[in-house]
Structure 1
Amino acid sequence: MTEPDRGTDRPSGRSVDPDSGAAATGVAAPSPGAQTGRHRLALKLGGAFAGAGIVVAAVFGALYETGTAPFDDAGQAPDGAIAAATQTWVEAMNSQNVEQMRASVCAGDQAKFASTQDKPPVSEPVRVDSVHDVVVSGATATATLTASVGAGGNKQTQDFQLGYKDEAGTWKVCQSAGTAQAPK
């Protein structure tokens, strides 16, 4: 239908929607059912993104609380990680499994096991009593290992100075970092 000019801003001869009075564009308006379907999809997507955001926030919150990467406090000595590296190293030496021994030391020390063969585990395993006096300097560290062997009256305890190196976020025992593992 065309509407004659009645002194309005609309040009004459233009098609208009008789219900709304708006100019007809030739594009059909989406049906109410299609709008509801899109609305539901938008709500579902929004809910999914909000749920994922909550999960991500919870994970980052837990990482922050425990001081785990990516929230490590650079000023805090990584005593726990160095103690764990020491325990892994002692267990590897007790096992006499060459692959475990290589995995427990830094890349610079792995060549020392080139000609080493697997052997049966040691009969009297060394125990880690404590790891203390940790001093971190960048990606290297030193610590004192107090270790013992035997039990009761036969128990022998000794302190060792160990070197460590942080390789890709993992601390490993590392003699080549500059500290000999000589008894104190």
Structure 2
Amino acid sequence: MKHLLIAVALALTATTAHAEVVDAQPGGFEVKRTAVLNAPADRVYAALAQPSQWWSKDHTWSGSSAGLSLAPMAGGCFCEKLPNGGSVMHMTVVYAQPGRGLRLFGALGPLQMSGAAGHLGWTLSETDGKTTLTQTYDVGGYMKGGLDKIAPAVDQVLSEQFDRLTAYVETGKAP
């Protein structure tokens, strides 16, 4: 019931949402997602820096979102604490502009075990207290069988994270 209420709240508050695999070739791909949120850009940007609050535990190495952190400054780490003192550097922040955008470089999930790397970016644009949030992930390099084969799965995973982020921004809770 709780998840249904959050889904209804999202349907009523997010005015547009669109996801797609923009391009997919053996050597790389781009996935993109956009939504208009009923929140100012500074609130959306602050939420981005708290992945432990919205990133799904199902897409962590540890099985827990609690160990995720993101330092929103150039050279900052999108990292995860693992049991027994382990850790993962998912990506490195290469651009951080409060209220405007955040860009990270690295490889997420199984891409870390390939010769691929990517650029995950969020751009924010505020008008009348609403923020258009666009998320893109451009990946290039080598992966056995071709990166185009994994693009739909990456799109699905990042779309889920994007939806969780927008729910967190608008309701204070991720589904």
Tell me if both proteins adopt one fold, taking TM over 0.5 as the criterion: no
Q: TM-score, normalised by structure 1?
A: 0.21
- Name the one with the larger strand percent: 2
